[in-house]
Structure 1
Amino acid sequence: MALKITVIGTGYLGATHAAAMAELGFEVMGLDVVPEKIDKLRRGEVPMYEPGLEELLRRHVAGIEGSTGRLRFTMDWAELGEFGDVHFVCVNTPQRHGEYACDMSYVDSAIASLAPHLKGPALVVGKSTVPVGSADRLAAYLAEHAPAGADAELAWNPEFLREGFAVQDTLHPDRIVVGVRSERSEKLLREVYATPIEEGSPFVVTDFPTAELVKTSANSFLATKISFINAMAELCEATGGDVAKLAEAIGYDDRIGRKFLRAGIGFGGGCLPKDIRAFMARAGELGADQALTFLREIDSINMRQRGRMVELTRQELGGGPFLGKRVAVLGATFKPDSDDVRDSPALNVAGQIHLQGGQVTVYDPKGMDNARSLFPTLGYADSALEAVRGAHVVLHLTEWREFRELDPAELGEAAAERVVLDGRNALDAEAWRRAGWRFRAMGRPGA
């Protein structure tokens, strides 16, 4: 009999996973506790912007003309428990308010709500990013509270989705990691991921602690590379060096690689910042805090970049206060191909300048609604050209392709002054300079 899959939590991770499981041929049921979210998904609408996700969803949601009907949604835990053989937990694990530690309340609530409805053999698979040691505790809870007892097993299967590439990363993952305690659990997960395994995706079988550590370790390593090159940008500014050429030169070393070596205003979003902080907090709880003290400096370098961009902007405006100065900000999301503004460096910089008296106008291709909700007092424009109109300085803070393809000459006609600061080191500096702009970027010689 074919496996039936459930997905608990239908945010960014859950909605993508549910649609991808249906694409792989499974009957899938998604659950959420937010009625508005379920209503949207039943209409084939996604609650966030992710390239290709809505098309994938509409191909499978029951009730939509022409769909396979393999995917449906519910708010009923009993229905979910009766339906599924394999239950994926995809709820949020945000940073705990006022602390570095991870808030496990959503995961704990999901497991507590599901357990009473597991009356026969079932596999619960955690995908949320959690502190190491959580899986042991949750497995014990399931065995104690599920009617199926020890037949309600737990596995851990961390997600490695990149916003903007989530559909690709789910259907064709670069690796599949599973923490299991039984051959049955491993067999079920090999069945779930049979298609990508056949296509060549590595399948790594490990224990619970290792599976939990993989995601936070990977994010910590990426954060370290980003903050390293930003620290080098500071040195380049102090010495007159060029961080872009420096990154190119060291990137040719295949032990280092070229990815994540672009200096700029740093990382943000809903994963990297909170994950490295939760990692530090958990290490402290385990008595291994010295192992991760370097992450405090990584976090500090990253946050410092935002203030440095504000000060660089002030310098380019003559060094005085921002009062009366019009600042155009290109970008609101923390990265391109997403509408996610959580802990966005771009919005943080825009907000700091606004609080210091600058007249800030923001434009982003996909993140405008979310940006307005978070920073309603900023100005917003319907296009890059409108944002730049009358500006004394232009800040490029999210590396959307649309911004790389802008015509500097056309923008120059609209701006009050031709001054651009590239906070992502992604624009063609020479093209902007040829159009008469004074171009600056972090860690690079000015002109």
Structure 2
Amino acid sequence: MHISVIGCGYLGAVHATCMAELGHDVVGIDVDAGKVDLLNSGKAPFHEPGFDELLERQVNGGRLRFSTDYADARGAQVHFIAVGTPQSEEGYAADMTYVDAAVADLIPHLLEHPDGPTLVVGKSTVPVGTAARLAAQVGGSPAHLVWNPEFLREGFAVQDTLTPDRIIYGLPGDPDAAEASSAVLDAVYASMLAAGIPRLTADYATAELVKVAANSFLATKISFINAMAELCEATGADVTVLAEAIGHDDRIGPKFLRAGVGFGGGCLPKDIRAFMARAGELGVDQALTFLREVDTINTRRRTAAVELAHRLLGGTFSGKRVAVLGAAFKPDSDDMRNSPALDIANAIAGQGARVIITDPAAGPKLAKSRPDMEVAADAFEAARDADLVLLLTEWRQFRDLDPAELREVVASPQIIDGRNVLDPAAWRAAGWTYHGVGRP
């Protein structure tokens, strides 16, 4: 099939490349000429495991290309909308500027297709009600609108696109249009459906809510265990044992129950805030008041890490050297949006410490975008003569550090394990003062 993907950031570039991997003829459209040139050369503008090889193979194989001209999308039967919906500068609501512009710019290039209906398929995370509004806008063209939310995890984006745990179609209300639209998307995802991946159909509103509801639940689970960590710190209990114990209950499960400095990135924080904002617009803001506390707990964990560092350094950051291991919001990514690690590093530096930060993927980007920050090549360089080390992004390189070797380069062997991924006994045996989150 001939497919276009509008927006070639993280979501769009991965989706376009994976659609080409499935055998489709794909063109990606983006307004950023530099990004388009880079993608056409087979190189990714971001770090994602396994993606570079896939992109290069599909570009060189001729099934994938990128353009800044919407006219190059003409003739495609399926047009995916994959642009960003960042948090508005005026408040918590999602900024729909890019989605609205993408649809408006695409409409003049929508054509009748001989093999069935032309589809405009939304993948962006949007406030509930957006699809119905856009469907009215698309309604004057020879196309149907479908909402097909994405569920990518950074670090696993290729896997999550090619082998998702579910596929959701938000279909038009007209039964004939819904049936025809569903048949076209079934053809797009034929190999996935043949492999047994579940496919659910829904109305627009339900499909839109699936993504934000899922993210809100995950954020709630993370903040719940971090709230338990605060209680553990006050009582001397161990949150890691507590999490393991409750995780054995199959109604709860063990995932997302690791206490730490909280969640970040470009999705969870802004999605739960946009969800709250939309609930307020709909007059049902009380239904989501719990998300305010979820957000507050998450922010509080960053503050708590700074306060702990302050106490360990004798009540002052002035003149102290602090090593921060991690800048990205999670491992296997170079995404620093709303990163707990970066926020904590900024706060400590702002109070007078000399902060040296390192990150395997985000480090080079940080050095270019933040010349005011001191970026080291690796953990040993960052920790040299440090009075305190903070592990804030759980990269394998940091989890596998030899505590005895690192002990040789620091000025004071103190470490805050902000992700609870180190073995306290091993680090203490090597002479370190170890502090986890919610651990005695």
Smaller-chain TM-score bracket: over 0.9
Residue aligning to 1:164:
155
Give the CA deviation at 1:83: 2.9
Is the alpha carbon distance of 1:374 and 1:276 closer, same or farther for their aligned partners in structure 2, counting shifts above 3 Å? Answer: farther
Does structure 2 conserve the Cα–Cα contact (< 8 Å) formed by 1:341 and 1:370? no
Listed one character per residue, the Cα deviations across residues 109-147 of structure 1 (whole Å, up to 9, x for unaligned) are 000000011131410000000000000000100113x3x
**1:369 to partner: Cα distance:** 2.7
What TM-score results when the alignment is normalised by the length of structure 1? 0.95
Deviation per residue, 1:24-82 (Å, 9 max, x gap): 01111111000000000110001100001110011111xx3xxx2111111111221x2
Among candidates 244, 247, 252, match of residue 256 of structure 1: 252
Amino acid of the residue matched to residue 128 of structure 1? S
Q: Residues of 2 paired with 1:393 and 1:119: CA distance? A: 61
Deviation at 1:243, TM superposition (A): 0.5
* 2:175 aligned residue: none
Q: Is the 8 A contact 1:96 1:103 kept in 2?
A: yes
Q: Which residue of 2 aligns with 1:291?
A: 287
- Do residues 13 (structure 1) and 11 (structure 2) align? yes
Q: Which runs of 5+ in 2 are unaligned?
A: 173-177
- Residue 366 (structure 1) aligned with residue 361 (structure 2): yes
For these two proteins, the number of residue pairs brought into alignment is 431
Whether the aligned pair in 2 keeps the contact of 1:404 and 1:428 (CA below 8 Å) is no
The aligned counterpart of 2:68 is 75
In the aligned structure 2, how far is the partner of 1:317 from the partner of 1:72? 53
CA apart distance, 1:374:
4.8
- For the 8 Å contact 1:351–1:375, the answer to whether it is kept is no
Q: Residue 93 of structure 1 contacts residue 107 of structure 1 at CA under 8 Å; is this kept in 2?
A: yes
- Tell me if structure 2 keeps the 8 A contact 1:340–1:370: no
Counterpart Cα distance in 2 of 1:290 and 1:265: 27
What runs of 5+ residues in structure 1 fail to find an aligned partner?
none
1:412 to 385, 407, 411: 407
Deviation string, structure 1 residues 270-303 (Cα, Å, up to 9, x no partner)? 0000000000000000011000000000000000
| Counterpart for residue 40 of structure 2 | 42
TM-score under structure 2 length normalisation: 0.97
| Counterpart AA for 2:27 | M
1:127 equivalent in structure 2? 123
CA shift, 1:373, in A, is 4.5
Distance in 2 between residues matched to 1:392 and 1:4, nearest whole Å: 58
Q: Distance in 1 between matches of 2:370 and 2:231?
A: 33
By how many angstroms is 1:389 displaced? 0.2
* CA–CA separation in structure 1 for the residues paired with 2:68 and 2:372: 36
CA distance in 2, matches of 1:24, 1:228: 39
1:85-234 superposed matches below 5 A: 85-120=77-112, 121-144=117-140, 146=141, 148=142, 152-181=143-172, 182-234=178-230
Q: Could you tell me which amino acid in structure 1 is paired with residue 42 of structure 2?
A: G
Q: 2:366·2:375 contact (CA, 8 Å) conserved in 1?
A: no
Matched-pair contact (CA < 8 Å) for 2:388–2:412: yes
Is the 1:347–1:371 Cα contact (8 Å) retained in structure 2? no
Q: Counterpart of 1:406 in 2: which secondary structure?
A: coil
SS at match of 1:5: strand
Give the Cα–Cα distance (whole angstroms) in 2 for the partners of residues 309 and 276 of structure 1.
Answer: 23
Rounded Cα–Cα distance in structure 1 between residues aligned with 2:375 and 2:66: 36
Give yes or no for contact 1:124–1:154 (8 Å, CA) kept in 2.
yes
Alignment partner of 1:401 is 2:401: no
Structure 1 position 378, deviation (Å) = 1.9
The equivalent position to 1:30 in structure 2, one of 28, 31, 43, is 28
CA deviation map 1:302-352 (0-9, x unaligned): 00000000001111112x120011100000000000000000000000000
Q: Confirm whether residue 350 of structure 1 aligns to residue 350 of structure 2.
A: no
1:311-330 matches, cutoff 5 A: 311-318=307-314, 320-330=315-325
The one of 40, 50, 68 equivalent to 1:52 is 50
Q: How many angstroms apart in 1 are the aligned matches of 2:288 and 2:269? A: 14
The whole-number CA distance in structure 2 between the counterparts of 1:419 and 1:217 is: 40
